[in-house]
Amino acid sequence: MKVHHISPDTNEDRVMTTQDKKALQLESGSVYKHTRPTFPKQNVEWTGSSWPEAKAREAAPNSLANTWFTSPTTTLPPPDHVGAYQNNRPVVPKENAERKAWIVGGGIAGFKGENIVILEDENFVGGAFDAFGDAKEGYRARGGRELTWNHQNLWDMFSTIPSPELPGYSLLDEFRFTNDYAQSYSKARLLHQKGKILDFSTFNLNPEQRKRFTELEMMPIEKAYSLSIGDFFDETFFQTNFWLFWKTQFGFGEEKHQSLLQLKLYMHRFPEGLPGMNNLSCMKSSKYNQNDNWVSPIWKHLSEQGGSIQCQTLVEEIVFKKDKCAEGETLTATSLKLKRNGKSEEISLSEKDVVFATTGSHVAGTA
């Protein structure tokens, strides 16, 4: 049997020689033991002749307060952990057999097919993913979504939807093929003076502007509620490459009165996109428009599973009842008041039903 020895000094992995074996003190009947690594001197605390143990550094106060531990009510890994271990299928609650999901808005969403009812005010499916028309009547495309590799719920759903163009593959597979073999990379990110390429190699942010970004990152959300971007940054910020990159990628307007909170939330959601913002290498794109590529296949699959989308149905009110509990009061939806084709209706909800309602939209109030 060959025994490998890893040297603590050179980190070299080699087959032990007879001389190596004799150099080690062996216990009767035991397997050859690896030598212990050398600990950094500043972290070593010796106790008699025992092996050195790492000396724990003093932790900051409450540094573990928000750490996710295994307990009677939680398990590891935490819900936001990324890895293959999370690719399992969870246990389906027993109530789902009788539970219905009422989804207000026809964007991307999901539940068990025959128990899904989507209520959509428009006469088409897709919500903010709308994209249709022709050269004669004109086209309609009010928005698109910025996507990154860590949209866990979305990619998990995409992995279950068949690709319409690649039999045997999923929407996730198709999306990966598109972006792995046709990566986004712009050689002319910014143009000026009638088509001349503007230097887009840097953000052009000065030290004070970078400091302000750090302050914005750490700012409590409630403090940003009533502030505009112009309230927080001076006039020079709007002359930087960063602002040109940002407003063209995320659809921010020219005006300085754009919401500071929106800027902050986008910063938190897309931090990994900052290094590639100047050349659009951070972008992940669908092969076609997002309605044809995503919404149509999802709607087709949902329909085949018994799902229902009721268009021209406007939900005007969600009726709640109040209940008292140990934590205070809870609100439970009991019915949906809606207007279908101009006529008022009310749908009663069972205690097992769930309602998913979008209270705001990127395209609310648009033509």
Asked whether residue 266 is assigned to any structural domain, the reply reads: yes
Asked whether residue 84 is assigned to any structural domain, the reply reads: no
Per-residue confidence (pLDDT) for residue 218, from 0 to 100: 93
Per-residue confidence (pLDDT) for residue 221, from 0 to 100: 92
Cα–Cα distances (Å) from 205 to 162, 198, 209, 211, in that order, read: 45, 16, 6, 10
Per-residue confidence (pLDDT) for residue 177, from 0 to 100: 87
Residue ending a domain, among 214, 243, 273, is 273
Asked whether residue 216 is assigned to any structural domain, the reply reads: yes
Question: Would you call the peptide bond into 93 cis, given omega within 30 degrees of 0 as the criterion?
Answer: no
| Phi/psi-derived region of residue 365, left when phi > 0, alpha when psi is between -120 and 50, beta in every other case | left
Residue 351 neighbours by CB under 8 Å, 6+ apart: 332
Q: What residue type is assigned to position 312 of the chain?
A: Q
Per-residue confidence (pLDDT) for residue 365, from 0 to 100: 63
Q: Give the three-class secondary structure for 328.
A: strand
The whole-angstrom separation of Cα 174 and Cα 290 is 13
**Which DSSP letter does residue 273 get?**
G
The whole-angstrom separation of Cα 189 and Cα 200 is 7
Q: What residue type is assigned to position 50 of the chain?
A: S
Q: What residue type is assigned to position 230 of the chain?
A: G
Phi, psi of 131 (to 5 degrees): -165, 105
Q: Which of 145, 128, 140 has the alpha carbon at shortest distance from 362?
A: 128
Helix axes 260-269, 207-218, angle to 10 degrees: 80
The count of structural domains within the chain is 2
Asked whether residue 195 is assigned to any structural domain, the reply reads: yes
On the 0-12 / 13-18 / 19+ scale of CB atoms within 10 A, 137 is exposed
Asked whether residue 358 is assigned to any structural domain, the reply reads: no
Report how far apart the first and last C-alpha atoms of the chain are (Å, whole number): 77
Q: Is 266 a catalytic site residue?
A: yes
Q: Which domain holds residue 244?
A: 191-273
Asked whether residue 201 is assigned to any structural domain, the reply reads: yes
Q: Give the three-class secondary structure for 117.
A: strand
Residue ending a domain, among 222, 242, 273, is 273
Per-residue confidence (pLDDT) for residue 33, from 0 to 100: 38
Asked whether residue 181 is assigned to any structural domain, the reply reads: no
Q: Which of 285, 212, 224, 213 has the alpha carbon at shortest distance from 249?
A: 285
Per-residue confidence (pLDDT) for residue 333, from 0 to 100: 92
Verdict on whether the full-model pTM lies above 0.75: no
Q: Is 27 a catalytic site residue?
A: no
Question: Of 53, 225, 254, 266, which is the active-site residue?
Answer: 266
Residue ending a domain, among 273, 291, 317, is 273
H or E element at residue 176:
helix 171-181
Find the largest Cα–Cα distance for the chain.
93
Q: What residue type is assigned to position 285 of the chain?
A: S
Contact, 278 vs 222, CB < 8 A?
no
Asked whether residue 305 is assigned to any structural domain, the reply reads: no
The whole-angstrom separation of Cα 307 and Cα 119 is 12
Per-residue confidence (pLDDT) for residue 21, from 0 to 100: 47
Question: Of 146, 215, 235, 272, which is the active-site residue?
Answer: 146
Per-residue confidence (pLDDT) for residue 15, from 0 to 100: 47
- Both tokens of residue 278? 């100047």
Q: What is the pLDDT along the chain (367 residues), one digit of tens a residue?
A: 444 444 444 444 444 455 544 444 444 343 333 334 444 444 444 444 444 444 444 445 555 556 665 566 666 666 666 676 666 555 667 777 777 776 665 444 445 677 788 887 777 777 777 677 788 988 877 767 788 777 888 888 888 889 999 888 999 899 888 888 888 888 899 998 999 998 989 999 999 999 999 999 999 999 999 999 999 999 999 999 999 999 888 888 777 888 899 999 989 988 878 888 888 888 888 888 888 888 889 889 888 888 888 888 888 899 999 888 777 788 899 999 999 988 999 999 988 888 888 776 666 666 5
The whole-angstrom separation of Cα 190 and Cα 243 is 12
Q: Where are the alpha helices (DSSP H) in 219-312?
A: 229-232, 241-250, 260-269, 290, 296-304
